[in-house]
């Protein structure tokens, strides 16, 4: 990629994690993911500076910055404020140009987006009212099982008799999992049951917007291979893997950086 492409940044302040990413032209120079905090303005500055430091970029040389995510209004140094739905659609379409369905599974919400062939957002559905169907649900359950949330993805391997989690509410589901552990249920069967419970919730959103392939999954929970397997089973279609080993958690920040680049071009660079 040329050195003289436009240098832009996306800063995605999520409810759980904050992400900053730098793009020059069509090349991702680097990114940083850090925990969100009660001070989103400071977190935004911290992740942006860390992304710049890691990419060898002087923060003052970034031509345009777009903020997105739950705390986007607090990215005081951003030139643009873009909804996370647009950013996930743009970021997913940037990496997978034919993407028609984007499923973003974040820390405290989940969204399904239907895209036109050209990447334009057609329709979306969102769950932000309840922890079920989000990363928070799995974090609660990982705590009960005394495992790391990053380990859940492999823990369901080998399960042939997944448990059925009957409670939709996370708080009741947590008690249900405690009972299952006490009754001696196998960990893989519980974890697979949890992944299936989560994906049942997500499938409701996907069906609301309509499922069209190729399907891309974004957000931190998309790093959980067990969730992806359960989603593929539930939806009956493959989930397209992101190219270049891209981290699904940075797709919103990527989309923001791409939007910033487009605005810069539109305004004459
Ligand atoms: P938000 O933008 O809402 O803060 P993210 O898309 O950043 O959400 O995703 C955060 C969620 O991703 C958290 O619930 C976290 O537990 C989960 N997560 C992060 N890394 C991993 C991983 N390696 N494996 C599984 N889940 C992960």
The alpha-carbon radius of gyration of the chain (Å, integer) is 19
**pTM of the predicted structure, to 2 decimals:** 0.96
pLDDT tens digit string along 198-233?
Answer: 999 999 999 999 999 999 999 999 999 999 999 999
55-73: buried (b, 16+ CB within 10 Å) or exposed (e) per residue? bebeeeebebbbbbbbbbe
pLDDT tens digit string along 12-71?
Answer: 999 999 999 999 998 999 999 999 999 999 999 999 999 999 999 999 999 999 999 999
Atom of ligand 1 nearest to the CA of 152: 25
Backbone angles phi, psi at 231, to 5 degrees: -65, -40
Contact 105, 203 (CB under 8 A): no
pLDDT recorded at residue 1: 40
The residue to which tokens 């959980």 are assigned:
224
Please give the average per-residue pLDDT across 69-89, as a whole number: 97
pLDDT recorded at residue 167: 77
pLDDT recorded at residue 88: 98
pLDDT recorded at residue 132: 82
Please give the average per-residue pLDDT across 57-86, as a whole number: 97
224-263: buried (b, 16+ CB within 10 Å) or exposed (e) per residue? bebbbbbbeebbebebbebeeebbbbbbbbbbbbbbbbee
Atom of ligand 1 nearest to the CA of 248: 6
Spatial separation of the C-alpha atoms in residues 218 and 2, rounded to whole Å: 28
pLDDT of 3 strictly over 70: no
**Ligand 1 geometric centre to CA of 150 (Å):** 9
Backbone angles phi, psi at 214, to 5 degrees: -75, 150
Pocket (CB within 6 angstroms of ligand 1): 14-17, 36, 69, 106-108, 135-136, 139, 149-150, 153, 219-221, 223-224, 249
**Ligand 1 geometric centre to CA of 221 (Å):** 5
Please give the average per-residue pLDDT across 151-164, as a whole number: 95
**Ligand 1 geometric centre to CA of 216 (Å):** 16
pLDDT of 5 strictly over 80: yes
pLDDT recorded at residue 129: 77
pLDDT recorded at residue 2: 43
Q: Which residues contact 131 (CB under 8 A, 6 or more apart)?
A: 108, 137, 140, 170
Please give the average per-residue pLDDT across 78-95, as a whole number: 98
pLDDT recorded at residue 171: 86
**Ligand 1 geometric centre to CA of 193 (Å):** 19
Backbone angles phi, psi at 69, to 5 degrees: 90, 175
Strand 80-81 relative to strand 101-105: parallel, antiparallel, unpaired? unpaired
pLDDT tens digit string along 161-206?
Answer: 999 998 778 888 899 999 999 999 999 999 999 999 999 999 999 9
Pick the residue with more confidence: 131 or 97? 97
**Ligand 1 geometric centre to CA of 110 (Å):** 11
pLDDT recorded at residue 250: 98
Kindly report the average pLDDT of the chain as a whole number.
95
Contact 23, 254 (CB under 8 A): yes
């Amino acid at each position: 990629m040329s050195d003289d492409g436009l240098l832009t940044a996306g800063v995605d302040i999520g409810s759980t994690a904050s992400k900053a990413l730098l793009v020059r032209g069509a090349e991702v120079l680097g990114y940083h993911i850090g925990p969100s905090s009660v001070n989103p303005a400071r977190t935004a500055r911290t992740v942006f500076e860390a992304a710049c430091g890691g990419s060898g970029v002087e923060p003052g040389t970034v031509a345009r910055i777009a903020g997105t995510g739950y705390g986007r209004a607090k990215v005081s140094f951003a030139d643009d404020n873009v909804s996370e739905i647009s950013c996930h659609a743009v970021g997913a379409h940037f990496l997978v140009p034919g993407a028609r369905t984007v499923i973003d599974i974040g820390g405290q919400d989940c969204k399904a987006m239907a895209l036109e062939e050209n990447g334009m957002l057609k329709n979306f559905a969102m769950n932000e009212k309840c922890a079920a169907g989000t990363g928070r649900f799995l974090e609660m359950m990982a705590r009960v099982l005394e495992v790391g949330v990053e380990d859940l993805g492999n823990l369901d391997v080998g399960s042939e008799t997944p448990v059925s989690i009957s409670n939709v509410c996370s708080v009741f589901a947590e008690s249900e999992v405690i009972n299952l552990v006490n009754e001696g249920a196998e960990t893989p069967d519980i974890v697979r049951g949890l992944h299936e419970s989560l994906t049942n919730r997500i499938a409701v959103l996907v069906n609301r917007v309509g499922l069209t392939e190729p399907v891309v999954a974004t957000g931190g929970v998309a790093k959980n291979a067990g969730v992806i397997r359960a989603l593929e089973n539930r939806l009956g279609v493959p989930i397209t893997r992101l190219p270049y080993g891209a981290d699904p958690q940075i797709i919103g920040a990527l989309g923001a950086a791409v939007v910033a680049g487009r605005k810069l071009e539109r305004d004459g660079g």
